[in-house]
Amino acid sequence: MKHQLTLAVKKHSIAIERFLRVARHRGFALTSLELEGAKNDELFHIKMTVDSDKPIYLLTTQLSKLVEVKDVQLQTLKQQAV
Amino acid sequence: MTGAQLVIELLSRQGVKEVFGYPGGAIMPIYDALYGAPVKHYLTRHEQGAGFAAVGYARSTGKLGVCLATSGPGATNLITALADAMMDSVPLLAITGQVPTAAIGSDAFQEIDVLGMSLSCTKHSYMVEHVDELAEVLQEAMHVACSGRPGPVLVDIPKDIQMAQVPFHPWLADEVEEYAEVDLAQLTKANELLANAKRPVAYIGGGVQSADAQAELMDFLNASTMPAVSTLKALGSVLPSYQYDLGMLGMHGGQAANLAVQQCDLLVCIGARFDDRVTGNLAKFAAKAKVIHLDIDRAEIGKRKPVAAMLHADLKASLPKLKPARTSSSWLDTISAMQTQHGWRYDYPGHEIYAPALLNQLSQKLPPNAVVCCDVGQHQMWVAQHMKFSHPSNHLSSGGAGTMGFGLPAAIGAQIARPDDTVLTVSGDGSIMMNIQELATIRRNNLPVKILILDNQRLGMVRQWQQLFFEGRYSETNLSDNPDFVQLAAVFGIPGQTITEGQEVAQAVDNFVNAKGPYLLHVCIDDKANVWPLVPPGAANDEMMTENA
């Protein structure tokens, strides 16, 4: 099942690798990624689509824990209740 | 001051009195700053030893453990300790030297992308890119390591930044931690579940130690008279005097613990994470039970098992809000009968040494605040089954990562952190060789660490699985060419003794416990001894294999 997420991530180069690693490791295949970071903005604004049989909250809760991730929003499809 | 001096100054201001490490080229400025500094450095003989000593220091005190290593192989040697600390939620700060900024990316001598390597084994990690951010990064790193669900944090500092001049930074204001408040609707639901449960069980995890919530846990248990089972890491959280303490659950858990969980109608999970070694076949784990899950880490709630109510908060805040369960007397009668029927027996026939009985005797002779460290394998499970602990900081065992070689350096860290307490490590003949070089650290610092080796001349746990599940094909588990461990210890100036017969145990345990300095007790046991009970892979926890089955 595909899910689209938007993330606000602190503009550190390692931060991109960090959240992408979490997505892969937790079993969510990346199908698209858009990243924007204006020069004066302290954050990267990211849209990503992931595909997995697993409920999406298993990813959003892990991403929300990352120190550099300031916001995670699920854009499409219902989040499976815990 | 230099960046290196700032590092030591900030550690000192944070109350760090002891660090563990190993010097090398890219971290030499920090070692220069350590020279004569109030922060005492303990040199281990391998960076992994430094990492595990820092883990032992942290786990035996609840304080931040700190380890240092140089770039390249120094940093990679820390990785296993970082992974171990990640799995077991240990507050750890690893500071690594890095090649100078200008050389990064050039495949310079001893250059490894340790920041990249750290991603999967740290709670967070940094590479300092400019000396002006050094103070803020270090302070944030210490805060991240110790706050919320604790974990390891790595700070990689290029050599030029260590050497650069930096103006003195005043200590930044501590961040005020904002923990989630307990959700009132969820709390109401949890209290309703507690009020209506007939057969509740509390399932205790390592979160109790992280939250320093043993007192709150015992208040809840005593008010509820609820049977309690513990994960490996939680052992000691439930006081041994608690009547309905059923000990460890899971693959090598006690039968009463596993059966109680399988039969309960309400499972109150307190700072645990439904690890696969705990649950066995997850679909069959506590299948009749509703679950209340208390945890500071939202990602653990519902990760493996659906919950009926969740309290996402610090356990110290959430536990007192729970109303006592109305545990039925018939359930307590059932539990008592299970405890009687499935209690441990130590009347092992024969003249050989029976490891569970020896460990039980040892446990009874140790002072209440003794720290028992473990390696990984059969001996680790026997310790968990047959020794008693009054606090989780008194039982240091590599839980999630299951790292052989953990015990000896962890005991060094614990002994340095708690110099007035008895500290021992129980190891196997396989595990002890994984960080045997740390005997030199014990000798160098005259640490009175006691070392007990249960020697079956095998990689015992693997051998047991080969016997049970691989048709007795004993591939690479024979260690009958072990060195003479007592002679080996003697080379490091550590006295010791070998015993081979059951009748020698009592005196040898006395000698071991009462030795004034370091001591090694080498215990020869049957190479066919197995750990029982055992939940086989894929089975439910009430489908345990036992010795006589």
DSSP codes, B96-119: EEE--GGGTTTT-TT---HHHHHT
Whole-number Å distance between alpha carbons of A60 and A53: 14
Q: Does ipTM top 0.85? A: yes
Model confidence band, residue A82 (pLDDT cutoffs 50, 70, 90): very low
Q: Do the chains contact at A67 and B124, CB–CB below 8 Å?
A: yes
Whole-number Å distance between alpha carbons of A48 and B27: 39
Instruction: Name the closest residue on chain A to residue B119, using Cα atoms.
Output: A18
Contact in structure between B166 and B108 (CB atoms under 8 Å): no
Contact in structure between B438 and B46 (CB atoms under 8 Å): yes
Q: Which residues of A touch B119 (CB under 8 A)?
A: 14, 17-18, 21
Q: Could you give the domains of chain B?
A: 3-163 (3.40.50.970), 184-341 (3.40.50.1220), 355-524 (3.40.50.970)
Contact in structure between B51 and B81 (CB atoms under 8 Å): yes
Q: What is the pLDDT at residue A81? A: 47
Question: With DSSP H G I counted as helix, E B as strand and the rest as coil, what are the percentages for chain B, rounded to 5?
Answer: 40, 15, 40
Per-residue pLDDT of chain B (549 residues; tens, 9 = 90+): 999 999 999 999 999 999 999 999 999 999 999 999 999 999 999 999 999 999 999 999 999 999 999 999 999 999 999 999 999 999 999 999 999 999 999 999 999 999 999 999 999 999 999 999 999 999 999 999 999 999 999 999 999 999 999 987 666 666 666 667 899 999 999 999 999 999 999 999 999 999 999 999 999 999 999 999 999 999 999 999 999 999 999 999 999 999 999 999 999 999 999 999 999 999 999 999 999 999 999 999 999 999 999 999 999 999 999 999 999 999 999 999 999 999 999 988 889 999 999 999 999 999 999 999 999 999 999 999 999 999 999 999 999 999 999 999 999 999 999 999 999 999 999 999 999 999 999 999 999 999 999 999 999 999 999 999 999 999 999 999 999 999 999 999 999 999 999 999 999 999 999 999 999 999 999 999 999 999 999 999 999 999 876
B306 lies within 8 A of chain A by CB = yes
Q: Which residues of B touch A19 (CB under 8 A)?
A: none
Question: B30 phi and psi, to 5 degrees?
Answer: -70, -40
**Mutate which of A59, A67, A68, A79 to test chain B, going by most B C-beta atoms within 10 A?**
A67
CA distance B274 to chain A (A): 15
DSSP codes, A18-70: HHHHHHHHTT-EEEEEEEE--TT-SEEEEEEEEE-SS-THHHHHHHHHSTTEE
Tokens standing for residue B134: 């050094």
B17 SS3 class: coil
**Cis status of the peptide bond prior to B150, with omega within 30 of 0:** no
Q: What is the pLDDT at residue B176? A: 61
B297 lies within 8 A of chain A by CB = yes
Contact in structure between B311 and B292 (CB atoms under 8 Å): yes
Q: Which residues of A touch B269 (CB under 8 A)?
A: none
Counting other chains too, the contacts that B344-348 makes at CB distance below 8 Å and 24 or more residues apart are B344/B254, B344/B385, B344/B386, B348/B502
How distant, in Å, are the alpha carbons of B48, B61, B85, B249, B428 from that of B403?
A: 11, 20, 10, 20, 12
Q: Which residues of B touch A82 (CB under 8 A)?
A: 301-302, 306-307, 310
Q: Do the chains contact at A25 and B116, CB–CB below 8 Å?
A: no
Whole-number Å distance between alpha carbons of B195 and A73: 36
Q: What is the pLDDT at residue B548? A: 74
Q: Do the chains contact at B310 and A82, CB–CB below 8 Å?
A: yes
CA distance A59 to chain B (A): 8
Share of chain A above pLDDT 70, in %: 91
CB atoms under 10 Å from CB of B497, counted, come to: 17
Q: What is the pLDDT at residue B167? A: 83
Q: What is the pLDDT at residue B349? A: 83
B521 SS3 class: strand
Q: What is the pLDDT at residue B468? A: 97
